[in-house]
Amino acid sequence: MAGLFESAGAGGAVLALDELEASILRSLEVQMLELIGPGPGGDGDGPGDPLAALFAEGPTRAPEDPALARLFPDAYGDPDGPADPQAREAAGEFRRYTELDLRARKREDALHVVRALDGLGGEGGLVTLDAEACLRWLGALNDLRLTLGVRLEVTEDDERGLYDLPDTDDRKPLVMAYLWLGALQESLLEAIAG
């Protein structure tokens, strides 16, 4: 089936994409890379000083962008509850030592998808993933879907209403991408379980 994953056995999967699907997915992943931003050193052109990267500390505050805050949530405290100074301090300390690694992993996952799609040569085709690549794709698809969900202000209660948006609604293209990413995620999980 075009556009959804199928099992390739041994925890792997195969995805048939037409040219438009590959282009959309690649564009979304490139935008994800831009949202996440470069790693320590800022230019992203090289590995930089590995020792400095090992001891680099991340931010202590949650990102202001709601999509980034969803991708990099606080580890402690109730996001919907009152601000607890102790929880906020613990979350800041946890973030300081974990966010850079989490950002790097999310960047690597998105880059893995982009490179696989670039391997199609700008056309549609078959993407074959081994078990490790499936996990990278699963992470990248999840990040995209979470980000679009925040941008669309999706809640569990109104997700069903996304299917009923009129074609004239400006959110319709993003909603279609959000729903497609959900179907991709579900089909990838089923293919992995195979």
Tens place of pLDDT per residue across the chain (194 aa): 357 999 999 999 999 999 999 999 999 999 999 999 987 665 544 556 766 666 778 899 999 999 999 999 999 887 766 778 898 899 999 999 999 999 999 999 999 999 999 999 878 899 999 999 999 999 999 999 999 999 999 987 777 778 888 899 999 999 999 999 999 999 999 999 98
Establish if 167 belongs to a structural domain.
yes
Residue 191, pLDDT score: 97
| Cα–Cα dist 75/79, whole Å | 10
113 lies in a domain?
yes
Q: How many domains does the chain have?
A: 1
pTM over 0.85: yes
In a domain, 84, yes or no: no
Please report whether residue 88 resides in a domain: no
Q: Is residue 31 part of a domain?
A: yes
Question: In terms of residue numbers, what domain contains 15?
Answer: 5-40+105-193
Question: How confident is the model at residue 54, as a pLDDT?
Answer: 65
23 domain-assigned: yes
- Would you say residue 87 lies in a domain? no
Q: Residue 175's closest CA among 186, 187, 188, 164?
A: 164
Q: At residue 144, what are phi and psi to the nearest 5 degrees? A: -60, -45
Degrees, nearest 5: CA angle 33-38-43 = 130
Return the pLDDT at 3. 76
Would you say residue 73 lies in a domain? no
